[in-house]
Structure 1
Amino acid sequence: MRLMHKTQPSWPRQASDFYRATLLSLALLMPGGLLAATGLNELDDPQLRGTATYRYLGLPLYNGRLFTPGGAAFDWNKDFALELQYRRNVSKKVLINSTLDEMDRIGRSAPVRDQLEVCFKAVKKGDRYLAVSDGPNEVSFWLNGAKTCTMRHPGIKRSFMSVFLGEKSRSAAFTQKLKGQ
């Protein structure tokens, strides 16, 4: 008897694993499933507008992707999402300080250090941050699909996103590629 028990096929377990994987795949592919996992569901009909790689002294720091409603042309008056996939490890302190320094440099300073302390975490190579605007005064952040915060301040969308998408960004080529120009 014992021998028969050990030699029985394990197809019920394999079938169970198959069904579990199938259900997970369907949940991710259903409308809002994959988007909900990334934060893009906050944007109306998000479509990829442009991609670019930001380099500093020739070294790639991050890949950017801009999503607009229906893939339409970039418009500050419309909500959009910006995803950065990091190509290097970056500490939380560096992320916060460099963001605030860039906002100062481009003339779009905002007193949001305390909010950035909540929003930003250290990133490792391959991590993805997604920033999604909701009107002119809110930007929500997701790190690898998990929401970290919503930053609120008058004009924060323009202040924060101008670091990457504004006329005074560090790299005009990066900005133009993101905007699909």
Structure 2
Amino acid sequence: MASRTSALSLFALAFLMTITQPALSDWRPSLSEARVVGSGEFTWFGLRLYTARLWSAGAAWSWNEPFALELIYHRALTRETLVQASIDEMQRLADRPMARETVKRWSKAMQEAFVDVRPGMRITGLYLPGQGCRFYVDGQLSLEVTDPAFARAFFAIWVDPRARDPQLRQRLLGLAGSDRGD
């Protein structure tokens, strides 16, 4: 009976530790002083797809400082849809056509990093200047990409002046009001 009680106590302790301790692979320790710079909703043909939040430790967003972009999904989307939409935007924003090998390599990285999403899921990208980026799915490290060109091209989807949704870009950069309270 004593060994059973000890086993139950250890189980309860382990359970409480998983609840109270943040995941070791969470992105926040890498950006410990992070605060939300801005946030907004992305809609497509009237459908609310996700809420985006841009986090930075600095006073304002900059390519020279680490930052995180958090996407909280409101619709189910396949991994393939996320990858293809990202590649399409990266190609649209590129200064010159992307090489076929680059598209294949970047697509493969996103296939590994992303998952099929459903409402409530989060994918967070952590931009690391000169190093690349890390992707987290619901707070757990999914993939680290050590390609600075990929990282810059990916995050440009939201922060480049030519972003598909200029109003969302303005909100993320804190240059306009947010869609929701932070």
User: Which protein has the larger Cα radius of gyration, Structure 1 or Structure 2?
Assistant: 1
CA 1:24–1:95: 2 relative to 1, 3 Å: closer
Q: Does 1:162 align with 2:149?
A: no
Q: Deviations over 1:140-172 (max 9, x none)?
A: 000001111012224222200010111111111
**Contact 1:67-1:80 within 8 A present in 2 as well:** yes
Aligned-partner Cα distance in 2 for 1:152–1:177:
28
* Aligned residue-pair number: 159
After TM superposition, give the deviation of residue 44 of structure 1 in Å.
4.3
Mind listing any 5+ residue stretches in structure 1 that lack a counterpart? 1-12
**Contact 2:37-2:174 within 8 A present in 1 as well:** yes
TM-score of the two chains, using structure 2 as the length reference: 0.78
Equivalent in the alignment of 1:74? 61
Write the mapping of 1:1-181 to structure 2, written as runs, cut at 5 A.
27-28=20-21, 33=22, 36=24, 38-70=26-58, 72-107=59-94, 109=98, 110-111=102-103, 112-181=106-175
TM-score of the two chains, using structure 1 as the length reference: 0.78
> Quick check: 103-112 or 88-97, which moved more?
103-112
After TM superposition, give the deviation of residue 20 of structure 1 in Å.
7.6
After TM superposition, give the deviation of residue 22 of structure 1 in Å.
6.7
Aligned-partner Cα distance in 2 for 1:23–1:97:
39
After TM superposition, give the deviation of residue 23 of structure 1 in Å.
5.5
After TM superposition, give the deviation of residue 77 of structure 1 in Å.
1.1
**Contact 1:136-1:156 within 8 A present in 2 as well:** no
Give the letter aligned to residue 84 of structure 1.
L
- Secondary structure, aligned partner of 2:124: strand
Aligned-partner Cα distance in 2 for 1:106–1:137:
21
Give the letter aligned to residue 174 of structure 1.
L
After TM superposition, give the deviation of residue 136 of structure 1 in Å.
3.0
For the aligned residue pairs, the C-alpha RMSD in angstroms reads 2.3
Mind listing any 5+ residue stretches in structure 2 that lack a counterpart? 1-7, 176-182
Query: Which structure would you say has the larger RCO, counting Cα contacts within 8 Å and 6 or more residues apart?
Result: 2
Give the letter aligned to residue 41 of structure 1.
P
